[in-house]
């Protein structure tokens, strides 16, 4: 079953040490494009996230946001004791020379005493596994939405294909009548022109003109190709795996055939049917651009 390229998925993990949240949005694109936002200090996990995304997505732009927040004891920035002691010794020596009293609390603001914020994340045990787990859950929910939207799109496409098939049957039944009506109208016009003269209607010339008209307006070949493309399109809707590019190609071929049908349809009834088919084909082209 086809899947849409658009969708949204989110997942979250929470314990007493960390909160991991992932949001992923997908929109149309002819190729795979990943826009990834991760907290500073977690660049190493981006390779794994890219791999997970490509296991789920074969076409589309994916915007993935990862938020990681330390909690509890893990949220406390570590103090670099060795650096702090070194500052204290330096300050004590300066106090001895200047006769002042040291403020140990002021040392916390000195460079290197308190660990950088990104150290909080890299110090949480098993964080990478948790992130991969949450990303996978968010992608599964994205897939569920894309599958549901794909099913609705497939149903709409099936309705368009059924309408095309019905109208092609009408065109096939109408074609011979168009030629017969043209023959009768031509005979009437020739007969009217010859009224009052002794010249007979040349049936051979009339037959040649009708044959030329029939050949020039023959749409059987285009209608057959259009019907064949429609059947291939319907078959692809039921196949598993990505088929958006094939559907786009078939929709383009159907558009080409229906344009030729329109240029050859000299009958008002046929022209109306062709216009409605073109509406269906245009809808299929637009929808196939949103299929993975």
- Per-residue tens of pLDDT for the chain, all 292 residues: 889 999 999 999 998 888 899 999 999 998 899 999 998 778 888 999 999 999 999 999 999 999 988 776 555 556 666 666 776 666 677 666 665 555 666 655 556 555 554 544 555 778 888 999 999 999 999 999 999 999 999 999 999 999 999 999 888 777 666 555 555 565 666 666 666 666 665 666 666 665 555 555 567 777 888 999 999 999 999 887 788 999 999 999 999 999 888 777 777 787 888 899 999 999 999 999 999 9
In the chain, the number of structural domains is: 3
In a domain, 2, yes or no: no
Residues 282 and 211 in one domain: yes
In a domain, 86, yes or no: yes
In a domain, 68, yes or no: yes
Residues 59 and 188 in one domain: no
Residues 39 and 92 in one domain: no
Residues 54 and 83 in one domain: no
What residues make up the domain containing 61? Answer: 7-74+123-147
Q: Residue 131: which of 6, 45, 254 has the closest Cα?
A: 45
In a domain, 1, yes or no: no
In a domain, 204, yes or no: yes
The residue count of the chain comes to 292
Query: Parallel, antiparallel, or unpaired for β 60-70 and 18-27?
Result: antiparallel
Residues 66 and 84 in one domain: no
Residues 137 and 24 in one domain: yes
In a domain, 234, yes or no: yes
In a domain, 267, yes or no: yes
Residues 68 and 100 in one domain: no
Residues 104 and 214 in one domain: no
The Cα 256–Cα 250 span in angstroms is 10
The Cα 257–Cα 251 span in angstroms is 10
Residues 256 and 130 in one domain: no
The Cα 259–Cα 262 span in angstroms is 5
């Amino acid at each position: 079953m086809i899947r849409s390229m658009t969708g949204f998925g989110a997942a979250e993990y929470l314990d007493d040490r960390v909160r991991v949240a992932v949001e992923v949005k997908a929109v149309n694109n002819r190729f795979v494009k990943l826009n990834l936002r991760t907290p500073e200090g977690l660049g190493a996990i981006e390779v794994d996230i890219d791999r997970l995304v490509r296991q789920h997505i074969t076409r589309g732009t994916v915007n993935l946001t990862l938020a990681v927040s330390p909690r509890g004891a893990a949220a406390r920035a570590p103090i670099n004791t060795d650096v702090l002691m070194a500052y204290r010794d330096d300050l004590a020596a300066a106090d001895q020379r200047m006769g002042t009293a040291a403020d140990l609390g002021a040392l916390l603001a000195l460079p290197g005493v308190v660990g950088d914020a990104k150290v909080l994340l890299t110090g949480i045990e098993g964080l990478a596994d948790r992130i991969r787990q949450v990303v996978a859950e968010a992608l599964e929910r994205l897939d569920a939405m894309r599958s549901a939207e794909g099913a609705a799109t497939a149903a709409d496409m099936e309705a368009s294909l059924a309408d095309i098939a019905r109208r092609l049957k009408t065109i096939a039944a109408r074609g011979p009548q168009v030629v017969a009506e043209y023959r009768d109208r031509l005979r009437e016009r020739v007969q009217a022109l010859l009224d009052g003269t002794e010249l007979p209607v040349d049936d051979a010339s009339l037959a040649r003109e009708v044959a030329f008209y029939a050949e020039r307006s023959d749409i059987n070949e285009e209608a057959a190709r259009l019907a064949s493309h429609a059947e291939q399109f319907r078959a692809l809707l039921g196949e598993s795996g990505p088929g958006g590019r094939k559907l786009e190609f078939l929709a383009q071929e159907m558009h080409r055939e229906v344009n030729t049908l329109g240029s050859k349809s000299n009958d008002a009834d046929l022209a109306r049917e062709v216009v409605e088919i073109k509406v269906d084909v245009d809808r299929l082209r637009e929808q196939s651009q949103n299929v993975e």
